[in-house]
Chains A and B, each alone.
Chain A
Amino acid sequence: MRIGVVTFPGSLDDRDAARAIRLAGADAVALWHGDHDLHGVDALVLPGGFSYGDYLRAGAIASLSPIMTEVIDAANKGMPVLGICNGFQMLTEAHLLDGGLIRNDKGRFICRDQGLRIENNASDWTTGFAANAEIVIPLKNGEGSFMASVETLKALEGEGRIVARYIGGNPNGSLNDIAGVTNARGNVVGLMPHPEHAVEAGFGPDTDNAMASGVDGLTFFTSVIAQALVAR
């Protein structure tokens, strides 16, 4: 399986995402924001960072990039797309996901290992998780507070489209402790925390067993690979 990672001006976690994809067992394909070409990939990751310095709104200018025409088209045809942090912000700005992200409620950039509950294990990126699995992956952002209208929130909750919820305290004021959501089809997922930073023992969050041994993030990538095999 070939999974593309799009690099935008100001992307930071594109190489980490590519590495996570390789560790999960797929080929990572580097894609460029200025192209109109997905190079025949089977799935896509929009990585974290600060595209265009968060000018206008986080993710807003990147969501208007040339390659986003192809990304939006592919997503609407069912291609699995994962937006992480800035990538999540791009997906909301591109209207592929509901809601929006604003500045953290306490006005601080937050960087810490964060507990999450995976509440939807039917999306293309979460099938490898047990129902309501509790995981820990890094969270690092300044504008991670998820907002949506009352009606949108009701639809997201009612249709089981909350992929991940913060546990152990709401870090940023997100409505209903929402850390990640999916679209109705379950192929597009946005996450504020970073699964690509918890994929290899020695470099992940601390666990009860050993320092830096957390690899809970890997399951997002192995899930989409397993889904692709089922789809064939």
Chain B
Amino acid sequence: MPTIVVEVMPKAELLDPQGKAVAGALGRLGQTQSALANVSGVRVGKRFEISIEGVADAATLAAVRELADTVLSNSVIEDVVGIHVQDAPSSAVA
């Protein structure tokens, strides 16, 4: 089933308190795991996977692009950073 993936991130210039909290926790891990010691920041965004019946044609993709800009993201505080089509909903990496 074709799946349109939309990725949204908080605007780069805005503070991302969620990412900052995660980065703080990684920083504390970094004290014991030297491989994490050079992590300098984390930002947390969102990934939407929209399953399509049949084919993801140009019209569908255009409609999802519109949806991404108007509903899935709020341009005051977020940016759509990626839209792509994949063959199926994501599964765990091997």
Which residues in A have some Cβ–Cβ distance to B below 8 Å? Answer: 56-57, 60, 64, 92-93, 99-107, 145, 147-149, 152, 173
A-chain residues with CB within 8 Å of residue B71 when the two chains form the complex: 56, 60, 64
Q: Mark each residue of chain B from 1 to 45: 1 if its CB lies under 8 Å from any CB of chain A, else 0.
A: 000000000100011011011000000000000000000000000
A-chain residues with CB within 8 Å of residue B17 when the two chains form the complex: 102-107
A-chain residues with CB within 8 Å of residue B14 when the two chains form the complex: 102, 147
CB distance from A142 to the nearest CB of B (A): 10
Does A102 lie within 8 Å of B77, measured CB to CB? yes
Instruction: Give the docked Cα–Cα distance between A93 and B70 (Å).
Output: 10
Does B74 lie within 8 Å of A93, measured CB to CB? yes
Measured CB to CB, the nearest residue on chain A to B76 is: A100
7 interchain pairs, CB-CB under 8 A: A56-B71, A92-B76, A93-B74, A100-B77, A101-B77, A107-B21, A152-B76
CB distance from B39 to the nearest CB of A (A): 18
> What total of chain B residues lie within 8 Å of the partner, measured CB to CB?
13
Chain A interface SS verdict (over half): loop
Does B15 lie within 8 Å of A105, measured CB to CB? yes
On whether A148 and B15 interact (CB within 8 A), knowing A64-B71, A102-B10, A107-B20, the answer reads: no
CB distance from B4 to the nearest CB of A (A): 17
Does B76 lie within 8 Å of A148, measured CB to CB? yes
B-chain residues with CB within 8 Å of residue A101 when the two chains form the complex: 77
Instruction: Give the docked Cα–Cα distance between A43 and B84 (Å).
Output: 44
B-chain residues with CB within 8 Å of residue A147 when the two chains form the complex: 14, 76-77
Residue from the list B10, B18, B78 in contact with A107, Cβ < 8 A: B18
Measured CB to CB, the nearest residue on chain A to B20 is: A107
CB distance from A144 to the nearest CB of B (A): 12
